[in-house]
Amino acid sequence: MPQIGEILREGKGKKVYATDDPDKAIVFFKDEAMAFHGLKRGRILGKGEVNNQVCEHLFNLLKDNGIETHFIEHIDARHSLVKRCDMLPFAVKIRNIAAGQLTERTGIPVGTKLEPTVIEFVLKDSDMEVDPIVNHTHIYAMKAATPEEMEQITEMSLKIDEILTAYLKDISIELIDMKLEYGRYHGRIILADEITPDTARFWDASTHEPLDIDRFRRDMDNVAEAYQEVLHRMMGVS
């Protein structure tokens, strides 16, 4: 197993470390929670362990459906071994149901099914209170991706959405929206980062109760229990 080296980057819910293998990195999932660009901070007990397992499960599901991801293998409760990618400076937001900032910007009522699915590109690591939305021409001007890569990223994102929406429906979870991040690995664009209740809105299909970081954002109770519920449904635990 590669040895942990220097920290490469740290996000809201994880740290990424270099290893003695230049092609591999180690991800550590944290219990710390953050919202509103760091204005609200806290801790969700057990979140790191849940997110590590959820991400592993979903990335393996995507791999089985032809999507290349950075995930290699599970190390322990909070650590996973991944391919070390050159991360793209923008993220992709896929929105199936109106919620969050979209409703504030557009006036579309919360809970409205979006037809077609809305795709947004946002800059990462911005100092602005809200991640700025950019379009293809911004990305080309930044030399962040080529037209061919943008076409591939869009197609992959829609396919990921289709796969996960169908899977989650079977366990009575609605995929409201999610943030996807990509990186280059030996010249290939692959899915990286994470898909967890930190980066996606998961609603109970019957009650429409959030099972994700929105509970923390909105000062709702049973935050840790909601994360656990997502994992239990994925693992088939009643």
Q: What is the DSSP string of 124-139?
A: SS-SSSSPPEE-HHHH
Centre a 10 Å sphere on the Cβ of residue 201 and count the other Cβ atoms it contains.
Answer: 21
Reported as a single tens digit per residue, the pLDDT across 61-87 is: 999 999 999 999 999 999 999 999 999
Tell me the mean pLDDT in the region 1-9: 88
**Average of per-residue pLDDT values in the chain:** 95
Tell me the mean pLDDT in the region 3-17: 92
Between residues 202 and 4, the one the model is more confident about: 202
What's residue 238's pLDDT? 41
Tell me the mean pLDDT in the region 169-197: 98
Cβ atoms of 122 and 134 closer than 8 Å: yes
Cβ atoms of 204 and 172 closer than 8 Å: yes
Q: Is the pLDDT of residue 183 over 70?
A: yes
Nearest-angstrom CA–CA distance, 154 and 199: 18
Q: Which residues pair with 25 in a beta bridge?
A: 18, 82
6: buried, middle or exposed (CB in 10 Å: 19+, 13-18, 0-12)?
exposed
Q: Which residues pair with 71 in a beta bridge?
A: 82
Q: Is the pLDDT of residue 39 over 90?
A: no
Residue 143 has φ and ψ, to the nearest 5°, of: 60, 30
Q: What is the DSSP string of 75-117?
A: -SSSEEEEE--EEEEEEEEEEEE--THHHHHH-PPTTPEEEEE
Domains within the chain, CATH numbers bracketed? 4-83 (3.30.200.20), 86-222 (3.30.470.20)
The predicted model scores a pTM of 0.95
